[in-house]
Amino acid sequence: MKKFTRIAIANRGEVAVRIIKACEELGIETVLLHSEADINTRAYRMATKTICVGPAATAESYLNIPANINGALAGGAQAVHPGFGFLSENADFAEAVNKAGLTFIGPSPEAIRALGDKVHCKELAKQAGLPLVPGYQGENQDVAHLITQAEKIGYPVIVKAAAGGGGRGMKLLKSSVEAHELIESAQREAQSAFGSPKVFLEKYLDRAKHIEFQVFGDSTGNVQHFFDRECSVQRRHQKIIEEATSPSLTDDLRRRMGEAACAIATLGKYKGAGTVEFLLQDGEFYLLEVNTRLQVEHPVTEEVLGVDLVKMQILTAQGDFVHDNKQIRAPKGHSIECRIYAENPFLGGVPSTGLLGHVEWPEGPGRRYEYGFDSGDTITPYYDPMIAKVIVWDENRPRAIQKMIRVLKDSVVFGVHTNIPYLIEILSHKEFVMGTMTTRFIETYFSESLKEPALTEIEKTVAAGALLQLRGGAGETAKASASPWASYWRGI
């Protein structure tokens, strides 16, 4: 049986921090494989050792397979944890890691090819008789051919990256007029984010809920599911609020979807953490895709079940994790996660980069924060603008919603704009409170930009005081209104 003493992390941001913490609890050292742009981030400071694998461009650093493997070997690691995104679902990377004498912390290359590639996964699901959304998963990637297939399916049609997830490389085609430009755009984004331009098409279900099941294959190949999450609150096809468990499932539906999730994972001979995603509409569910990695929203599952999925991943890769059915209990209470993005909610969510002057997350029972930046760090324009995840737990869903609103109002992010005001508006909407939202919830009820609130006299006084502190004295007061710092208070 393997026992790791040092693990390399081929990723960045909050997920790198999360993996470092799990390794520390297991007494394992870490090697952070980072880009030139991620020096002086939280993960960089926390890792036992750091090795730069390339410049800011992802193709030359986080997606560079030889650079990451050479970095792991040079750092003295025995294993590589890929986190999520980047190379986490790249079968070639997993295979190269294993050939280099390292252990890939995740499913086998064969399982990634069978399930992680969205096209191959659907072929496997067909064999298993699982319900699928109508679409096209062929090898012909010529844009004209894809447009023909979209017209056969019937608009609206959604284009997705075959090797990706997280909303990257995803475009909604409403008619043939815009199809050519959007398909090409999806292919370029898929190449940039996942190293492959391959896409596939699906009929867009316009009243669906997005439900997913956490699955986990232990060291013996026994697959269990760890119940469900609902991720229907999405903007531009990217999740921004997730919760466990879903408020939309009956006991019977939960049982049938959980069985389907385990069936597809078992067919793929799955080991480690994975997620089976479904669309649910009019009481019928359809397999969407399988994510062969840790999921951004995994904390809500951990909160309602009291498990540590990252530790379980590492122990499974060592060959010493086996499911104890007595420990897989029913979910307790309710958990909600909000993704905090560095963006301006008053200007259509445009990215907001720059220095984080001050960051403070309010502590208290049932509150959890996962973040990759501290006060004094800089949000760069090179990567996903998510800077943190806020997770709450409480006895039931209404109390969890109220706790999340309170926590967001008390959180302080000073220096860049964030989507916190947008999240509070969503959480307060009656349809979210009732749990009846679909994937078109935001599109239906919210505009791209929030109306910017007027300043109160107290806020003006606080902002002026903060400016004085930042600029180093009262003599700067007269310059404050013209300073670029003048907008920083809105990030509070």
Q: Which residues are catalytic?
A: 293
The amino acid sitting at 193 is A
Please count the other Cβ atoms lying within 10 Å of the Cβ belonging to residue 291. 25
In angstroms, the CA 387 to CA 235 distance is 17
The amino acid sitting at 406 is R
Q: What six digits make up the tokens of 115?
A: 């399930």
In angstroms, the CA 268 to CA 215 distance is 12
Measured CA to CA in angstroms, residue 227 lies from 67, 115, 212, 300, 332 at distances of: 37, 19, 8, 11, 11
Mention every residue, 6+ apart, whose C-beta is less than 8 A from residue 283: 253
- Cα angle at 303 between 297 and 305, to 5 degrees? 110
Measured CA to CA in angstroms, residue 83 lies from 2, 20, 116, 374 at distances of: 20, 11, 14, 20
Beta strands in 404-445 (DSSP E): 412-414
Query: Does residue 350 sit in helix, strand or coil?
Result: strand
In angstroms, the CA 233 to CA 432 distance is 9
In angstroms, the CA 28 to CA 45 distance is 16
In angstroms, the CA 31 to CA 73 distance is 10
Mention every residue, 6+ apart, whose C-beta is less than 8 A from residue 151: 176
Query: Does residue 85 sit in helix, strand or coil?
Result: coil
Quick check: bond before 362 cis, omega within 30?
no
Q: What six digits make up the tokens of 32?
A: 């952070």
- Give phi and psi for 341, each to the nearest 5: -105, 145
